[in-house]
Amino acid sequence: MPNQQGNTTQAAPRIIISGGGTGGHIFPAVAIANALKKLNPATEILFVGANGRMEMEKVPAAGYKIIGLDIQGIQRKSLWKNLLFPIKLLASLNQAGRVIKNFKPDAAVGVGGYASGPLLYAASGKGIPTLIQEQNSYAGITNKWLSKKAKKICVAFDEMDKFFPADKIVKTGNPVRKQSVDTAGKREEALREFKLSPNKKVILVTGGSLGARTLNQSLMAGLDKLIAADVQLIWQTGKVYYAGILEKLGENYHPNIRIVEFLNRMDLAYAAANIIISRAGAGTIAELCIVGKPVILVPSPNVAEDHQTKNALALVQTNAAVFVTDAEAGATLVPKALELLNNKEEQETLGNNIKKLALPNADEVIAQHVIDIIKESKK
């Protein structure tokens, strides 16, 4: 009999979700899985990742089974390591074929990362409907290649028909951590949490879980200016840089400065901030759009196809963010932040414009599209 969502398969849907490599790929994948389970708790979900990558730990921690493929990406900085790439690719295609034969999925979803390519290619070859979730404003080579046979392509930015067939594109946005963007009515709690004064302005700087060297160096260079302006700072250094910064500054450097390695409560950090300084990863941008506060984006140059710069410029085009290049940040980031902090009108404009780009239910919308392509394939 059909399941509660009217899926025409005899049993509950069986879905493979493939990809990973970074938290930016893994979190949306888990969010989509959770949304599919919400649509139909009997849904069978299998993750497929790359052996040795972060997803092999993070996905089981989220409660899902994962199988690893022996695949690696193209090594841009070490060409000799690429000699093994064709062999590993062929091996991973064979592994992907076996996974599909054994699991018998009704659909396969690719979220980006090394394992997406072989898995979705093998699934398409066996007539299984596939869906791609492209997070960035600039599509990578793998997704462009996979799009030819995909049934649906879920995107977060406009003008993606430069990369994909227009009739397959659906603008869904990127899944976000709901608890991270739930900031309403939390400012007082946030100020208490970070021991901040309600009478002084707050800058939040976040460079992701590992941290961002340029952001940290720019803050070190501009600390005197921030202190002279009597501005409060929530400074998330990241795991890699925390000990070194504490060694230089000490734990209680200044009452206005809160130095933390990691932010467990992003909702409170966002709620406390008047303005936010951040890298421009797709997942982060999705959160910032929902939070709706003025943002200065400093894209990382150390990413494939410079996609963070392209993500940031997509917001700059609609006057929804301030843009500072990684190269200029040391000299201009802190002065620009102070300038924005003292310009109430620009803060309001940026906040309103970024909020217009918010797509808060992306996980549920993508999950429904997965169910839809299964239904279509059964007709």
Q: Which residues are annotated as a binding site for UDP-N-acetyl-alpha-D-glucosamine?
A: 22-24, 136, 177, 209, 308
Q: Compute φ and ψ for 30, nearest 5 degrees.
A: -65, -40
User: CA-CA distance, 27 to 209, in Å (whole number)?
Assistant: 13
User: CA-CA distance, 313 to 137, in Å (whole number)?
Assistant: 9
User: CA-CA distance, 216 to 196, in Å (whole number)?
Assistant: 21
Q: Counting Cβ atoms within 10 Å, is residue 343 exposed (0-12), middle (13-18) or buried (19+)?
A: middle
Which pair of structure tokens corresponds to residue 262? Answer: 């990691």
Residues 159 and 313 sit within 8 Å (Cβ to Cβ): no
Binding-site annotation: residue ranges: 22-24, 136, 177, 209, 308
User: CA-CA distance, 209 to 225, in Å (whole number)?
Assistant: 26
Q: Across the chain, where does the E strand assignment appear?
A: 14-18, 44-50, 65-69, 107-110, 130-134, 152-155, 169-171, 202-206, 232-236, 257-260, 275-278, 295-297, 322-323
Residues 295 and 275 sit within 8 Å (Cβ to Cβ): yes
